[in-house]
Structure 1
Amino acid sequence: MNKNWLERIRLTPRIGFFLGFFGCVFLLSMGAYFQFVGGLEPCPLCISQRIGILLTGIVFLIAGLHNPGRAGIKAYAILGTLAALGGGAVSVRHVWLQHLPPEEVPECGPGLEYVFNNFPLTETLKLMLSGTGDCAKVDWTFWGLSMPAWTLVAFLMLAALSLLQFWNARPRGSESSRD
């Protein structure tokens, strides 16, 4: 009985990858909505998380369009998981900064536009991945979780969806599989 239930909810890898891609599109759309409609300016860590979502979405899109065999599905699943966990690591840093006592919050830095125009790329990347005092401010919550906390949840769900493709890569019953 359990096997039938699991088999009924099992998606093709292509559908699974496209679901992940559309999830990433949704997340990026929400970020744009909060920025352009809600007036919330993204901090360096927010932008880094958006880049993580974008990279994860690109992996999912390429995997869905490519529709590879079992070996390719596993490779894309690993890439998607790594991209999602990389973005999740940035989210963890962001949540950690938001929970620091006020006296331990790092100083606010210059705006990103200024940094991009006047700092070397290595310094810009360091700032984008370590955050500033701006990143410690909580502008929005839902059910007690800040936006970076919800983004962390989303990254973990994307990583899980990507890992599920290993299960989807197994051949089904009498279907032939491509390698």
Structure 2
Amino acid sequence: MLNWLDAAPRRVLALISAACVAMLAFGMYLQHVVGLEPCPMCIVQRYALIGVAVFAGLASARGQKGWWMGWGLLALATAGFGAFVAARQSWLQWYPPEFATCGRDFYGMIESYPISRAIPMIFRGSGDCAAVDWTFLGGSIANWSFICFVGIAVVLLALLARGLRARAA
């Protein structure tokens, strides 16, 4: 598999971008077909997936090593941010706050408060961020999201490390 990273880094990046689009489509399915409403942290994770998809897609667009490594680094940072948000939501689900309130929705927070107050409110979570509405093999959406973000980050990290090692040689 590591040889595939060396042989076709642009294909790996395109595959990462396609996987992110597939996960976004599954999120839309859960929302619009199953009827699950996303919490503020779920929406932030969606934006992180969009960022990873866009950055990985741009990285795969050109064959120049500096181009795909730069965009790949941004995709890695965005995947790390997504993993952080998913881990925080998983923690809230395992240890729910004593006073669970449903709070405002994501867009209500952004529209009503300055960004310096809205961002801490998003990460503080709310009653609906701590709720587990759907599970698969014992894991919630946040747990699976964390696993996906970490998997993407590991592949990107291996791809970038192999690219740097080839550049130094």
Alignment partner, residue 16 of structure 2? 20
For residue 59 of structure 1, the aligned residue among 49, 55, 58 is 55
Normalised by the size of structure 1, how large is the TM-score? 0.82
Q: Equivalent residues in 2 for 1:148-159 (5 A)?
A: 148-159=142-153
Show the 5 A alignment for 1:1-179: 7=3, 11-69=7-65, 71-101=66-96, 104=98, 106-166=100-160, 169=163
Structure 1, unaligned runs of 5 or more: 172-176
| Identity score, percent | 31
Runs of 4+ in 1 over 2 A off after TM superposition: 5-11, 71-78, 103-108, 110-130, 166-171
- The amino acid that maps onto 2:113 is F
* Structure having greater relative contact order (Cα 8 Å, sep ≥ 6): 1
Map Cα deviations across residues 143-174 of structure 1 (whole Å, 9 max, x no partner).
Answer: 00000000001001111121232355365xxx
Which entry has the higher C-alpha Rg, 1 or 2? 1
Structural RMSD (CA): 2.2
SS in 1 for 2:15: helix
**TM-score, scaled relative to structure 2:** 0.86
How many pairs were matched up? 166
CA contact (8 A) 1:56 1:83 kept: yes
Give 1:64 shift.
Answer: 0.8
Listed as ranges, the gaps of 5+ residues in structure 2 are: none
Measured in 1, the distance between the counterparts of 2:4 and 2:113 equals 54
Q: How many angstroms does 1:117 deviate by?
A: 3.4
Greater helix share, 1 or 2?
Answer: 2
Q: Distance in 1 between matches of 2:107 and 2:68?
A: 39
Q: Distance in 2 between matches of 1:161 and 1:72?
A: 18
